């Protein structure tokens, strides 16, 4: 019979192994994951017509993050390019540098445990300080250790996981993306599958917004390289906007992952994708804090 000390040691080894696997594999938004609760339609919705957020400005000593409600041009369509699972160099560096080079806005949803060294934490800091062109947002602390079913079946635990990431990464606004699942929490709206609705309700009560996606640039889960070409992705974005196949009319949220673009040839695909969309005078790139009808994404106090 094992002693209590032996049991504690074995438990610690198991947790360390699971977290190590999570860092290596990262997000998995495959059809199998959707069957476990991704992009669910079971929802609670009490939303009015889509409009800008409340007319509030965050009072803060850091004027960089003094949030103001966006004003939309009715002749434009808005693109929210988002990158998940960072920091994951060199992919995060590539994505950040390309966005800065091309002068477009983008959002990085980052994972607390991935910032596991001073070098990686410095990369998170550079993303945060890139605002208002670049936004740092919350993608959980553990990424559910890639055990999504268990993670979401324990909503108090998963809720706390997001709060840990918010503090650890010093995320400026209360904006979250769930790992492995597309759900929406905004002013007057909770749209989520049955699996993730409990944690979404807790996050809603804590004042958080949860952001899903409309179009996904898939990646090969063995090589972490893009599946679709840049041209195919451009067409998907155009079609989604033309047909109003988005969560909010004239606003499209695009999901990608940092590590997809670590190789020069794949980085070139991202560059082409952005360049061609930017050339359309009717398109505007924005950070996700400017998405319609968010609850005021109040500034978190610096830790």
pLDDT tens-digit readout, 139-153: 999 999 999 999 999
- Assess whether pLDDT exceeds 70 at residue 284: yes
In the chain, what percentage of residues exceed pLDDT 70? 78
Taking Cα atoms as reference points, which of 252, 54, 289 lies closest to residue 171?
289
d(CA 221, CA 225): 8
Average pLDDT over residues 112-138: 97
Neighbouring C-beta atoms of residue 12, cutoff 10 Å: 10
pLDDT value at residue 46: 40
CATH placement of domain 77-290:
3.20.20.370
- Assess whether pLDDT exceeds 70 at residue 42: no
Domain regions of the chain by residue span:
77-290
In the chain, what percentage of residues exceed pLDDT 90? 75
Taking Cα atoms as reference points, which of 288, 284, 289 lies closest to residue 299?
289
- Assess whether pLDDT exceeds 50 at residue 13: no
Q: What is the DSSP letter of 228?
A: S
pLDDT value at residue 149: 98
Confidence at 115, pLDDT banded by 50, 70, 90 = very high
Evaluate whether 246 touches 229 at the Cβ level (below 8 Å): no
Average pLDDT over residues 204-208: 96
- Assess whether pLDDT exceeds 70 at residue 23: no
pLDDT value at residue 93: 97
Confidence at 67, pLDDT banded by 50, 70, 90 = confident
| Distance spanning both ends of the chain, measured CA to CA | 45
pLDDT value at residue 64: 85
- Assess whether pLDDT exceeds 90 at residue 259: yes
pLDDT value at residue 32: 37
pLDDT value at residue 62: 66
pLDDT value at residue 205: 97
pLDDT value at residue 51: 38
pLDDT value at residue 59: 37
Phi/psi at 297 (nearest 5 deg)? -80, 70
Phi/psi at 105 (nearest 5 deg)? -95, 145
Beta-strand relationship, 189-191 and 43-45: antiparallel
Mean pLDDT, the chain, whole residue set: 85
Average pLDDT over residues 265-282: 98
pLDDT value at residue 27: 57
Give residue 54's Cα distance to chain centre.
22
- Token pair for residue 183? 């759900």
Taking Cα atoms as reference points, which of 291, 303, 296 lies closest to residue 254?
291
At what angle are helices 118-128 and 91-102 packed, to 10 degrees? 20
Per DSSP, helices labelled H in 129-263 are: 148-152, 155-168, 197-205, 230-242
């Amino acid at each position: 019979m094992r002693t209590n000390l032996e049991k504690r040691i074995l438990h610690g080894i198991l947790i360390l192994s699971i977290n190590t696997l999570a860092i290596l594999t990262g997000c998995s938004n495959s059809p199998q994951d959707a069957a476990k609760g991704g992009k669910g339609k079971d929802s609670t919705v009490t939303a009015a017509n889509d409009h800008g957020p409340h007319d509030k400005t965050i009072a803060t000593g850091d004027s960089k993050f003094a949030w103001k409600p966006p004003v939309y041009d009715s002749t434009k369509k808005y693109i929210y390019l988002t990158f998940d699972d960072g920091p994951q160099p060199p992919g995060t560096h590539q994505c950040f540098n390309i966005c800065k080079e091309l002068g477009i806005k983008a959002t990085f949803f980052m994972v607390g445990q991935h910032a596991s060294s001073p070098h990686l934490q410095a990369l998170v800091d550079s993303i945060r300080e890139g605002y208002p062109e670049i936004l740092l947002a919350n993608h959980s602390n553990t990424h559910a250790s890639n055990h999504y079913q268990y993670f979401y079946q324990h909503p108090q635990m998963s809720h706390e996981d997001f709060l840990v990431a918010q503090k650890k990464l010093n995320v400026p606004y209360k904006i979250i993306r769930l790992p492995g699942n597309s759900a929406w929490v905004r002013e007057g709206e909770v749209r989520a599958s049955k699996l993730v609705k409990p944690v979404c309700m807790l996050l809603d009560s804590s004042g958080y917004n949860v952001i899903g996606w409309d179009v996904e640039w898939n990646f090969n889960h063995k090589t972490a390289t893009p599946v679709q070409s840049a041209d195919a992705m451009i067409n998907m974005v155009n079609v989604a906007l033309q047909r109003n196949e988005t969560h909010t009319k004239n606003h499209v949220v695009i999901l990608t992952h940092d590590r997809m673009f670590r190789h020069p040839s794949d980085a070139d695909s991202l560059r082409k994708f952005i360049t061609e969309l930017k050339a359309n005078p009717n398109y505007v790139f924005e950070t996700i804090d400017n998405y319609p009808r968010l609850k005021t994404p109040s500034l978190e106090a610096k830790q």
